[in-house]
Amino acid sequence: MHAPFPCIAGRILAAAAGVAIGWTQAARASEPVDAPDGWENVAQVQFLDARRAFEARLQADPADHDARIGLAVALLNVQPRQSANIERALALLEEVRSDGRGEQVIEATYLLARIHQLHRDPADPYKAVELFDELLAAHPDHPLAQMGFVEAAMLRLYVLDEASPAATFATLEQRAAHLSDPTARRDFHLTMAAAASRLRLGDAAALRHLRAADAVGLAKRNTAGNLYIRAATRARALGQVDLAEAYERRFLAEFPRDFRAYTIRQRLGAPATQPAEATP
């Protein structure tokens, strides 16, 4: 004989669950529907929502190349990652390149190069560099083309092995003379400074590029703090004590509570509790 408890309790449970689900659905239905711009979704890393928004825009206006670019960048990051999405993004950007004009073509070319560089599996760094070079040749003053030069520089330094690291480094320094966009110039110098240290191309080269990046101006506090210490370390290694101390004082003035301040104070021989003043 079965006890009545499970059966009755089950019915009560089911009834309660039904009421709860009904309540929840009613509440959801009464909520306002959010209809954000596709680009805002991309900025907020909401790629699935962005994809829907751009698909809708393209359906409404098939000539909307901005939506085509938006859909492509959303597809690059919709999870789970699928090669079909990457290939579709590539095709969308090729459409913009062949049919669009001005800024849109520049952007599509840059993104195509990035797909070959990073998103496609396997990546094709040679194709990426070819597209970056093509973009720079066509639009030497455009910020995105100049940023493409920085991306290509990374590939040349770390991936392609076209020449010895020292020769590649020297060539890149020569070619970078044209960089006019501050962001691209800053990131080029930061890239070169890191490569000089990692590829053992000398403290002087690293310091030169760190100072150049500093002169352009850094966007992030953390980068600035790291740069001051890196420049001071390289300057000390080269015997440029005055320069090293200037960077160390700047660090202490701007980052007195950083966990590395104690070490810097030790280097400077500064009092332990009072940050030293920075030199102008």
The C-alpha torsion from 214 through 218 and 220 to 224, rounded to 10°, is 10
Residue 244 CA to residue 4 CA, distance in Å, equals 84
* Distance from C-alpha of 141 to C-alpha of 136, rounded to nearest angstrom: 8
As a whole number of angstroms, the distance between CA 9 and CA 230 comes to: 69
**Nearer to another protein by C-beta: 133 or 165?**
165
Element at 105 (helix H, strand E): helix 103-114
Q: Which residue has the tokens 């890239």?
A: 191
**Min. distance of Cβ 172 from another protein in angstroms?**
13
Q: With contact defined as beta carbons under 8 Å apart, do 210 and 231 qualify?
A: yes
Is the peptide bond preceding residue 122 cis, with omega within 30 degrees of 0? yes
Q: Which residues, at least 6 apart from 236, have a Cβ–Cβ distance to it below 8 Å? A: 244, 267
Site for another protein in 107-166 (CB under 8 A): 107, 111, 114, 118-119, 147, 150-151, 154-155, 157-159
- When the beta carbons of 65 and 280 are compared against another protein, the nearer one is 65
Q: How far is the CB of 118 from another protein (least distance, A)?
A: 6
Q: Using the rule CB under 8 A, is 84 a contact of another protein?
A: no
Could you tell me if 38 and 50 are in contact, meaning their C-beta atoms sit under 8 angstroms apart?
A: yes
Count CB neighbours of 121 within 10 A: 8
> Does 197 contact another protein by CB under 8 A?
yes
Residue from 25, 82, 180, 222 binding another protein (CB under 8 A): 222
Between the alpha carbon of residue 56 and those of residues 53, 185, 232, the distances in Å are: 5, 38, 53
Single residue of 185, 234, 249, 250 touching another protein by CB under 8 A: 234
Which of 84/280 has CB closer to another protein? 84
The 5-24 contact track toward another protein, x by CB under 8 A, reads x--xx--x---x-------x
In the list 29, 60, 122, 220, the residue contacting another protein (rule: CB under 8 A) is 220
How big is the site for another protein, counted in residues (CB under 8 A)?
A: 63
Binding positions for another protein, 36-65, rule CB under 8 A = 39-40, 42-47
- Closest approach of Cβ 88 to another protein, in Å? 14
Asked if 133 and 152 touch (Cβ cutoff 8 Å), the reply is: yes
Question: According to CB under 8 A, which one of 162, 164, 198, 277 is a site residue for another protein?
Answer: 198
Which residues have a Cβ under 8 Å from the Cβ of 231 and sit 6 or more positions away? 207, 210, 211, 214, 243, 244, 247
Residue 63 or 272: the one with the smaller Cβ distance to another protein is: 272
* Positions that interact with another protein (CB under 8 A): 3-5, 8-9, 12, 16, 24, 39-40, 42-47, 69-70, 73-74, 76-77, 107, 111, 114, 118-119, 147, 150-151, 154-155, 157-159, 182-183, 186-187, 190-191, 194-195, 197-198, 218-223, 226, 229-230, 233-234, 257-260, 262-263, 272
